[in-house]
Amino acid sequence: MSTSERHTYDVVVIGAGGAGLRAALEAHEQGARVAVVCKSLLGKAHTVMAEGGIAAAMGNVWPEDNWQTHFRDTMRGGKMLNQWQMARIHAEEAPARVWELEEWGAVFDRTPDGRILQRDFGGHRFARLAHVGDRTGLELIRTLQNRLISKRIDVFMECTVLRLLTVPGAADRPGAGRASDEPEALSAPARERSSARVAGRIAGAFAYWRESGTFVRFDAPAVVLATGGIGKSYQVTSNSWEYTGDGHALALWAGAALMDMEFVQFHPTGMVWPPSVKGILVTEGVRGDGGVLLNSEGRRFMFDYIPPVFAAETADSEEEADRWYTDKKTARRPPELLPRDEVARAINAEIKAGRGSPHGGVHLDIASRRDPEYIRRRLPSMYHQFTELADVDITREPMEVGPTCHYVMGGIKVDPSTAAATVPGLFAAGECAAGMHGSNRLGGNSLSDLLVFGRRAGLHAARYAQSLPAHKRAVADDAQIDATAAAALAPFAAALTPGSAQAGTASAEGTASSAGGTTSARDSAGTSVSPSHPPENPYQLQNDIQDVMQRLVGIIRTESELVRALKEIETLRSRARHVAVVGHRQYNPGWHLALDLGSLLTVAECITTAALARRESRGGHTRDDYPSADPAFATLNHVLRLRDGRLVLTTEPLPAMPPELAALFEDAGAESRADRGAPAGGKGS
């Protein structure tokens, strides 16, 4: 195998978005030898597309703001399903992370007295998003990127990880042998902690270079996953091509648990026209800065969709809503700024009721409400985006917008304070980690999330690696490498020799491979070519996966469709075994896509499985057949693991909040309590 290239590090960070860069900087700060491995060029990660800002209770605009209020907003936005410890850490530490960015060269918009300016956003009680016009993500990435460069941290650009390397046994028990099948070796509580399965621990990662198509092996006791989301499993998405759920899948295949995978955020405002730009994000900042949603009758329909839980703090007349922008003391917030799940559902309902705009969206109007100068200054990229791509001048006419797949709340199950996944040596931060946002994320909480938990992941990954002296750092066996490499190359054979028998290799360890079967190299199974099956085109397969998810596992879900989706995913999985690529290994996008199919199929199955199990509607998961929130589900999370190659779903009780934090929700009215559901400690089914 062409695996001669090999590197050794303390910490390997996978992903170079905000979370990955922040993790790498922190691990470096701790004295660890760090590498960043990323699918694209440095500075191109999806974080650059974040527009609105970084939520942090700095109190620069509203001195009344504090971490408790931010914590409360976050939990309520997540319909109380968040891991409260994460929401608390996040609210407490976010301000320090923003000020630190300024120290590192970020240039935020300013208040009149020279502080960092903060803007309003949906679900946030006070204006608390530190921002730079509508290109905050770019500012964040550049700042971290420049610092990374000045620290001379190694970056492997355009290098894609195919699998995580593991060795059997927990790190504190070296020489424990092949513990993966020996739960007896553990004490009962420990067994419970690890759900009766010790997957082993991390030993590194195995990747390929896009440019040359050759393989590269990283030996490292700690890996931080910071791979972002899963948007590319849907047809209409604001996400870039990289968002194929790699981190989710890599973690699952390595034995780690995923959580909350049913919760997918559809951002209410994506572009709907022209077709080729459908899904591209229109920042919530448009609404934060005064934009309103109108249906085809010109009605501000959001007033018709204020849920009881937010009624107490939402304006019920246009007059009050408009006053709020300048008078937050006596006026309540406009309904356009309700949490994203509420707004997305409302837009969806208006379109379905036939009150949509000409191209199947609704109108987002800021032109009639703010002067052109203000719009161009506050929303320069939106102005640019609409003039260039849609021939729409947003200072003169309304935009057409509709929901677009934007973010996954679910992800790798992590320890709230250390960001450690359930496999020793594995850490996760940012969008690919679960728990922080519960069932729905508030705008602005993503950039702060990836700074706060990126730092923590880097810190604890470095400490973990440093706690393992060299002789305890086991090295993965070559069988994992060989199997993955062979499977990765199989699609070439499939194209060259259609009709030949078994061109691919069966995985060296077939059991630990994919969710519910085998697909492409990503889950280390082989591509095989059977005489009866024609070669499959990776582009077509990706398209078909997106079609299934969009059609059957979209904003509104129902049991029969979810069951059908699982069947269709299974069919796609068997088709993916016959994926074939033409050309050679140098920078071959068809091949790269073929290798991404494994992750896409895995996350598709995870989302669908969890969505089927949650028979209620909450946040980013809406069931037509169970339209309201169910107290029985209010205190449990769905956890997914692979057992013997099959996806297994369990429920885990949500940790109970301590009384002093629970008290923050006391005045929020009965509806909020109902939403929280049964008292803490309720058992999961």
Partner 1 sequence: MAAYDLSLRVWRGDSDSGDLQDYTVGVEEGMVVLDALHRLQQTQAPDLAVRWNCKAGKCGSCSAEVNGRPRLTCMTRLNLFAPTDTVTVTPLRTFPVIRDLVTDVSYNYEKAAQVPAFAPGAPAGDDGHHRMKQSDVDRVQEFRTCIECFLCQTVCHVIRDHEENKPVFAGPRLMIRYAELEMHPLDTHDRRDLLRGRAGIGYCNITKCCTEVCPEHISITDNAIIPLKERVVDTAYDPITRLGNRILRRRR
Nearer to partner 1, 450 or 611 (CB): 450
In 3D space, the residue among 261, 265, 600, 554 whose CA is nearest the CA of residue 434 turns out to be 261
Smallest gap, in angstroms, from Cβ of residue 160 to partner 1?
14
Nearer to partner 1, 85 or 588 (CB): 588
Q: % helix / strand / coil in the chain, to the nearest 5?
A: 40, 15, 45
Nearer to partner 1, 389 or 668 (CB): 389
Q: Is the bond leading into 274 cis (omega within 30 degrees of zero)?
A: yes
Nearer to partner 1, 283 or 507 (CB): 283
Catalytic residue among 124, 147, 287, 557: 287
Q: Are 462 and 32 in contact (CB under 8 A)?
A: yes
Tell me how far apart the alpha carbons of residues 171 and 179 are, in angstroms, rounded to a whole number: 11
For residue 384, what are the CA distances in angstroms to 236, 277, 283, 381, 390? Answer: 21, 14, 13, 5, 10
In 3D space, the residue among 292, 283, 294, 551 whose CA is nearest the CA of residue 406 turns out to be 283
Smallest gap, in angstroms, from Cβ of residue 513 to partner 1?
26
Smallest gap, in angstroms, from Cβ of residue 110 to partner 1?
4
Any idea of the CA torsion for 338, 343, 346, 350, to the nearest 10 degrees? 120
Smallest gap, in angstroms, from Cβ of residue 38 to partner 1?
11
DSSP class of residue 116 equals: B
Smallest gap, in angstroms, from Cβ of residue 206 to partner 1?
22
Nearer to partner 1, 83 or 357 (CB): 357
Tell me how far apart the alpha carbons of residues 476 and 202 are, in angstroms, rounded to a whole number: 9
Give me the amino acid identity at 132.
V
Smallest gap, in angstroms, from Cβ of residue 431 to partner 1?
15
Q: Which H or E run contains 381?
A: helix 380-390
Instruction: Name the residues that contact partner 1, by CB under 8 A.
Output: 40-46, 48-49, 99, 102-105, 107, 109-110, 112-117, 132-133, 135, 138-139, 142, 146-147, 149-150, 152, 211, 240-242, 273-277, 280-281, 380-381, 384-385, 388-390, 537-540, 543, 581-584, 586-591
Place of tokens 């960015």: 101
Give me the amino acid identity at 376.
R
Nearer to partner 1, 227 or 672 (CB): 227
Smallest gap, in angstroms, from Cβ of residue 633 to partner 1?
36
Q: Are 636 and 439 in contact (CB under 8 A)?
A: no
Tell me how far apart the alpha carbons of residues 117 and 123 are, in angstroms, rounded to a whole number: 18
Determine the distance from the C-alpha atom of residue 392 to the mean position of all C-alpha atoms in its chain, rounded to a whole number: 31
Smallest gap, in angstroms, from Cβ of residue 504 to partner 1?
19
For residue 187, what are the CA distances in angstroms to 110, 184, 196, 201? Answer: 56, 7, 10, 18
Q: Which H or E run contains 485?
A: helix 478-496
Smallest gap, in angstroms, from Cβ of residue 241 to partner 1?
7
DSSP class of residue 395 equals: T
Task: Give the burial string for 506-520 (b: 16+ CB within 10 Å, else e).
Answer: ebbeeebbbbbbbbb
Nearer to partner 1, 135 or 676 (CB): 135
Smallest gap, in angstroms, from Cβ of residue 325 to partner 1?
19
Phi-psi region of 302 (alpha: psi -120 to 50; beta: other; left: phi over 0): alpha
Give me the amino acid identity at 514.
S
Using DSSP, state whether 372 is helix, strand or coil. helix
Count the Cβ atoms, other than its own, within 10 Å of residue 16. 29
Name the phi and psi angles at 326, rounded to 5. Answer: -115, -15
Helical axes 559-576 vs 589-613, angle rounded to 10°: 150
Smallest gap, in angstroms, from Cβ of residue 218 to partner 1?
21
User: β-strand 258-259 against 636-643: which pairing, if any?
Assistant: antiparallel
Nearer to partner 1, 115 or 328 (CB): 115
Nearer to partner 1, 32 or 48 (CB): 48
Tell me how far apart the alpha carbons of residues 396 and 45 are, in angstroms, rounded to a whole number: 32
Annotation marks residue 287 as catalytic: yes
How buried is residue 99: exposed, middle or buried, by Cβ count under 10 Å (0-12/13-18/19+)? middle
Strand partners, 205: 164, 218
Tell me how far apart the alpha carbons of residues 487 and 521 are, in angstroms, rounded to a whole number: 5
Tell me how far apart the alpha carbons of residues 217 and 235 are, in angstroms, rounded to a whole number: 33
Tokens standing for residue 445: 């909480």
Catalytic residue among 131, 267, 333, 437: 267
Smallest gap, in angstroms, from Cβ of residue 587 to partner 1?
4
Q: What is the DSSP string of 194-228?
A: TTT----EEEEEEEEETTT--EEEEE-SEEEE---
Annotation marks residue 267 as catalytic: yes
Strand partners, 14: 37, 225
User: β-strand 129-130 against 154-156: which pairing, if any?
Assistant: unpaired
Nearer to partner 1, 107 or 479 (CB): 107
Nearer to partner 1, 371 or 539 (CB): 539
Nearer to partner 1, 126 or 492 (CB): 492
Catalytic residues: 267, 287
